[in-house]
Structure 1
Amino acid sequence: MEIRGPNGVVAGVDGSPSAAEAAEWAAREAERRGTGLHLVHAVNTGTVTLSPRTGIAVTDLILREAAELLDAVRSTLEAAHPALRITADVVPGDAAEAVLAAAEHAALAVLGTRGHGGFAALLLGSVSLRVAAHADCPVVVVRGADHPEGPVLVAVHDERDAAALRFACESAARRGLPVRALHTWSPVVADVGRMAPVVDELGEEAELHERLLRRTCDPVREDYPDVALEAHQLTGSTAATVVEESRTAALVVLSRHEPAPRFGLRLTTPVHAVLHHAHCPVAVVPV
């Protein structure tokens, strides 16, 4: 295993087109951050059930082919990014666990939507979902089209999302892009038959959400004076709104609030939906 510096970017690769796109995205991000890139290719050698001698030979062959694949990916990235320091490991074992282990001291983990395994009809692979649900660092799932001139879009539910907003501002600052903060909510009306009170109640509720949005955004805006940060409140579904807005975004940033247990996928419904349907890369930030 190669020694790598902390706070770099980690990317999971497996030879799939999706992983290749994610590795290239990760390389550009590492350059923007001025850090190194570490590639991880996990291979499962635990299913070899032949005789011990044959099993060892097959395992060696699997690991050798994995190393050749990883070398090819690394060479392609080095040719495109000659100034970038790139390290790489072949890790026997589960892919999600390998990426999670490599990302323990990383600043960012990057994955594609899905690899070679699983069912082709699925929109997002289990490895990407597991890493997004459990990583200690932000995770970017590279999907959809890259809109380099679009804004960095961040979903803001409440003041706990300030960390995700800061991540969005940092990402935007590196790219010279604006940030668009979206706060969505659904009106709560007790009596739909009384129109005047309903209008008043909606106005009061909108003002409460506006104040919440200002409390969350204003301190972050002060810390990033060079980033154009626009804040908007909209009524409707968070997932549907963010997915639609992602059509022209460079990056979507979402919070992962609840600490997830080691097993199981504890992503909230909006995060899960956006990861599956967004039209651009999605960052999931643990807060």
Structure 2
Amino acid sequence: MNSRSPAGVVAGVDGSERAAAAAEWAAEEAVRRECPLHLVHAVNTGTVTLSPRTSTAVTDLILRDAEGTLDEALGKLRAAHPALRITGDVVPRDAAEAVLTAAEHAELAVVGTRGHGGFASLLLGSVSLRVAAHSVCPVVVVRDAEPPGGRVLVAVRDERDGPALRFALRAGERTGLPVRALHSWSPAVADVGHMAPMVDEIGEEARLHEQLLARICDPVREEYPDVDFRAGQVSGGTAAALVEASRQAALLVVSRRQPAPHFGLRLGTAVHAVLHHAACPVAVVPL
């Protein structure tokens, strides 16, 4: 049993439909990247608290059942992608920790929005949130529905977002999809009652943001001359703008700005919101 994957794409599976959809997305991405796919099925056997003899028997039964679940997932993916190298492991530990460990040397980690655990009413499970918050490589959170649109959307805030922008452009290059960068900002207006006299100032602020967007995007644009790439700005809340724009996207790319500590998620309001509400898969790129 090897909890660390070969370099490539890592996907978490648990037998749920959402995990199966994430694994299929991961397989398609591994084909595009021409790299292997590694599946991780985690089972936390530490919760078995019966007598030692019974506990061992129950643990063995849990692990055998998990092996069957993994073998089924491997079989389906190998049948659908016969040229793709696919491996897998059952890991007896916490699901998020298992995926994070497997992804330490991976190009990409892929998880579903929710697995079997937790409450059915939740939009996003704790495992997906923890992986997105702590992974050292980019993470894609995949919904069970088909992506609604045909473009790659990337959120751009400032010059630090270069890695997310390049991730999006590489995705556009591999898929042939156009890439759209979206920069959102809120007017610095302290008093709504004084809005009218500040129209010129708002216009100047918009021009400054346009210049900022050009400084961020133009150098990166030159690195991907064959990608249909456009950048635009919108005035308003970042989370709402991204969620709305995701309705026409095949993938939404956002930055995780600060390394998350061991305790706590620290994903930021906008990233947390799009992970819960975006209509398409969301890629979280650590900076």
Instruction: Give the TM-score normalised by the residue count of structure 1.
Output: 0.96
Identity of aligned pairs, percent?
Answer: 74
Equivalent position of 1:75 in the other structure: 75
Which amino acid letter does the alignment assign opposite residue 44 of structure 1?
Answer: N
1:193 Cα deviation from its structure 2 partner:
5.0
**Can you list the C-alpha shifts for 1:74-109, whole angstroms capped at 9, x where unaligned?**
000000000000000000010000000000000000
Equivalent position of 1:122 in the other structure: 122
Equivalent position of 1:89 in the other structure: 89
1:53 Cα deviation from its structure 2 partner:
1.1
1:147 Cα deviation from its structure 2 partner:
3.8
Which amino acid letter does the alignment assign opposite residue 233 of structure 1?
Answer: Q
Unaligned runs of 5+ in 1: none
Equivalent position of 1:272 in the other structure: 272
SS in 2 for 1:68: helix
Name the CA distance, whole Å, in 2 between partners of 1:190 and 1:3: 53
Equivalent position of 1:254 in the other structure: 254
Matched ranges for 1:90-109 at <5 A:
90-109=90-109
1:171 Cα deviation from its structure 2 partner:
0.6
**Can you list the C-alpha shifts for 1:246-278, whole angstroms capped at 9, x where unaligned?**
111010000000111012111000000000001
1:199 Cα deviation from its structure 2 partner:
1.4
Point out the more displaced range, 17-26 or 262-271: 262-271
Please tell me the root mean square deviation across aligned C-alpha atoms, in Å.
1.6
Query: Structure 1 residues 114, 237: closer, same or farther in 2, change over 3 A?
Result: same
1:28 Cα deviation from its structure 2 partner:
0.3
Instruction: Give the TM-score normalised by the residue count of structure 2.
Output: 0.96
SS in 2 for 1:67: helix
Name the CA distance, whole Å, in 1 between partners of 2:14 and 2:105: 22
Equivalent position of 2:10 in the other structure: 10
Name the CA distance, whole Å, in 1 between partners of 2:251 and 2:96: 23
Unaligned runs of 5+ in 2: none
Name the CA distance, whole Å, in 1 between partners of 2:191 and 2:53: 76
SS in 2 for 1:104: helix
Equivalent position of 1:139 in the other structure: 139
Name the CA distance, whole Å, in 1 between partners of 2:204 and 2:113: 41
Name the CA distance, whole Å, in 2 between partners of 1:250 and 1:6: 27
SS in 1 for 2:184: strand
Query: Structure 1 residues 153, 56: closer, same or farther in 2, change over 3 A?
Result: same
**Number of equivalenced pairs:** 287
Which amino acid letter does the alignment assign opposite residue 117 of structure 2?
Answer: G
